Amino acid sequence: MDERGSSGRDGLINAARRLFAEQGVDAVSLREVARAAGHRNTNAVQYHFGDRDALVAAVVEPFEHDVGARRAALVDVLASEAVPSMRSIAGALVRPSAAMLEVPEGREHLRIVAELIIDIDRFNASTGAADNCLVEWDRLARSNMADTTLPLHRRYAAISLCFNELGRRAATRRRPDHRLFVSDLIDLVTGVLLADVSDETRHLLDERERQRVKKQLNTTEKAST
């Protein structure tokens, strides 16, 4: 197959995955990707994908589709339970992605996701419809968390912790057994989701709400004059 065919496209995706994982998504030029894939035409990425964002999506989405299917199955089971344990909910976040640690391409994928998750909008754009299961996981976690925690966005903190730790693990030397790491990560995510809201934090939340209401009233008064 020539450089314009499917094998040429796949070669670009594989090269991009490796370079993005090693150097960072935005640190690699599209010309570098083309050269690493063995293309004579340094504009090959633009030919096949159009731009960087489309290339990133092509690299990330297939893996996230598989991960998402596994996570969706776990979420469906937990959603059918009257009161699922928070550790089970944390496990539904961690375990599907942690399975990627077992293969080289999966470890590269996890390193990329750890970078993308910093900007959740960019991550969602890169995964397309595959991120729906993360939305469903978020809904499940929210419905089982204390109301006092909801204004603090702890579910996003749990997601960030999960993927950052998986990315860190993926970047270290290959280990034969990830069971302890995965179990401990589930414990950590569970702790984030269940953490009590301190009196200090609750006071600051109340203060922020008072300021928001005051600002809203001032705006309404100015609009009416």
Find out whether 89 and 106 touch, Cβ atoms under 8 Å.
Answer: no
Q: Which two tokens stand for residue 79?
A: 């959603």
pLDDT of residue 6: 45
- Please tell me the pTM assigned to this model: 0.87
pLDDT number for residue 177? 94
Residue 112, SS3?
helix
If you ran DSSP here, which 8-state letter would residue 28 be given? S
Q: How does the average pLDDT of the chain come out, rounded? A: 91
DSSP symbols for 135-163: HHHHHHHHHTS-GGGGGGTHHHHHHHHHH
Name, in order, each residue with C-beta under 8 angstroms of 111's C-beta and a sequence gap of 6 or more: 20, 21, 22, 167, 170, 171
- Predicted pLDDT at 7: 55
8-state DSSP, 198: P
| Residue at token pair 């203060």 | 207
Q: What is the pLDDT, as a whole number, of residue 123?
A: 87
The pLDDT of residue 3 is above 50: no
How many Å apart are CA 78 and CA 85, to the nearest integer? 9
Q: Quote the CA–CA distance of 188 and 185 in Å, as a whole number.
A: 5
Residue 1 pLDDT greater than 50, yes or no: no
Q: What percent of the chain has pLDDT over 90?
A: 76
pLDDT in the model for residue 72: 94
